Amino acid sequence: MNGARPPPVKGVAKRVLSDSNAAASVAAMSDASKFAPGGPAGILPCQAIEALIRHGAIASDRPFEHDQVQPASLDLRLGARVWRVRASFLPGYGRTVMERLEHVAMHELDLTCGAVLEKGCVYIAELQERLALPPGVSARANPKSSTGRVDVFVRLLSNHSVAFDDVVEGYSGPTYVEVAPQTFSILVRTSTRLNQLRLKRGVPERLSTRSVGVDLTDGIAGFRARRHAGVIDMDFEDGHDPRDYWEPLIPRRGELLLDPGEFYILASKEPVEIPVLEAAEMTPIDPSVGEFRVHYAGFFDPGFGAAETDSVGSRGVLEVRSHETPFLLEDGQTVARLVYEPLTERPTRLYGDSGSHYQRQGLKLSKHFKFWS
């Protein structure tokens, strides 16, 4: 009986299967511990986000992309449909986004081949990511840096929500994004990333709040958006001539006059550093500081500006829009607050590990533009 397969040894296959199940069980328990309600309160790092994906707490019909999970956040991708709406809205208790859309939608656009979202208009787009958050885990969204720097106002919507950008603990359902281009019309398509999601366990402690001043020293200190520029392709990096979209600003006597309704890109006076066990959010300005809004894109990942990531000296780039009255901004004046919160554990990746357009940045336009020279 040459070549005959020997009889199986009793118990071996069963033991191998048992060992495999045990290993999978240990891995699952390890994953679950990353976001269990009894753990320390804080922002979930990348490995915990990846565990949520493995467990189906974050799901998508399309495979997740390799660079979608950031050190302490998840990039969200546009789906196939977007609706032009006549007004912004919140669904409110007991109502879904789609139910509310029936009353405000004007027309639907197909994003599979790309579509232009025009400035001055409001849109609601479906996102590819669905959530089934475990007990004790909530989420908050913000625009990505590259979105805020081209003056595109985006806010997350979820079913039954009574506040933009916040997703309640244990939420299960689809996600949507409101998109309102303010200065430039934009070209987007399915899988364009405009906003990002930060997940939290419990209520993280506010470790510190720091003031952020503006740098208005000599030379080009900022840029003002041109009102009647062309369309910006949100997936085309380093492909737009900045002079077609921006005017450079040179302050006089350390001052800059902000005109009502105009959009500006400025830089922080001091370097920004985010320790590797913390994350931060730039909070919108309050009226007691000035008649303008700073920083649509508020998330700063662990390791930004830190020695460990070789990015000491990085500045915070500030997106500034003046309100009803002209406002005279002075060098060093406080324009925003940076709020620091703890992570639940050290992330396995830090800011810039996979490359970043904004590593060691000073004053810098979004990644869509060629270098200003």
123-152 pLDDT per residue, tens:
999 999 999 999 999 999 999 999 999 999
> Both tokens of residue 197?
């999601």
What pLDDT does 296 receive?
A: 63
Residues 6+ apart with CB under 8 A from 50: 69
Using CA atoms, how far apart are residues 215 and 320, in angstroms rounded to an integer?
13
What pLDDT does 25 receive?
A: 36
Q: What is the mean pLDDT of residues 243-253?
A: 95
User: Looking at the structure, do residues 186 and 230 belong to the same domain, yes or no?
Assistant: no
Structural domains of the chain, count = 2
User: Looking at the structure, do residues 117 and 158 belong to the same domain, yes or no?
Assistant: yes
User: Looking at the structure, do residues 168 and 264 belong to the same domain, yes or no?
Assistant: no
User: Looking at the structure, do residues 154 and 51 belong to the same domain, yes or no?
Assistant: yes
User: Looking at the structure, do residues 52 and 184 belong to the same domain, yes or no?
Assistant: yes
Q: What CA–CA distances, in Å, run from 62 to 79, 125, 149?
A: 10, 16, 28
Determine the residue type at 162.
V
In a domain, 14, yes or no: no
Domain boundary among 148, 181, 201: 201
In a domain, 31, yes or no: no
Q: Residue 179's domain is classified under what CATH number?
A: 2.70.40.10
Residues 6+ apart with CB under 8 A from 13: none
User: Looking at the structure, do residues 279 and 232 belong to the same domain, yes or no?
Assistant: yes
In a domain, 180, yes or no: yes
- For residue 182, pLDDT beyond 70: yes
- For residue 12, pLDDT beyond 90: no
Tens digit of each residue's pLDDT (9 = 90 or more) over 33-62: 555 556 899 999 999 999 999 999 999 999
Residues counted in the chain: 373
**Domain range for residue 215?**
208-237+246-342
- For residue 28, pLDDT beyond 80: no
User: Looking at the structure, do residues 160 and 71 belong to the same domain, yes or no?
Assistant: yes
Helices vs. strands in the chain: H and E counts, helices first: 4, 25
315: enclosing H helix or E strand: strand 315-322
User: Looking at the structure, do residues 96 and 221 belong to the same domain, yes or no?
Assistant: no
Q: Is the pTM of this model over 0.85?
A: yes
In a domain, 26, yes or no: no
User: Looking at the structure, do residues 82 and 179 belong to the same domain, yes or no?
Assistant: yes
Phi, psi of 102 (to 5 degrees): -55, -25
In a domain, 110, yes or no: yes
CA 256 to chain CA centroid, Å, is 29
In a domain, 48, yes or no: yes
User: Looking at the structure, do residues 189 and 337 belong to the same domain, yes or no?
Assistant: no
Tens digit of each residue's pLDDT (9 = 90 or more) over 89-132: 999 999 999 999 999 999 999 999 999 999 999 999 999 999 99
User: Looking at the structure, do residues 157 and 261 belong to the same domain, yes or no?
Assistant: no
Tens digit of each residue's pLDDT (9 = 90 or more) over 276-326: 999 999 886 665 555 566 656 589 999 998 888 777 888 889 988 887 788
User: Looking at the structure, do residues 58 and 140 belong to the same domain, yes or no?
Assistant: yes
> How many of the other CB atoms lie within 10 Å of CB of 40?
12
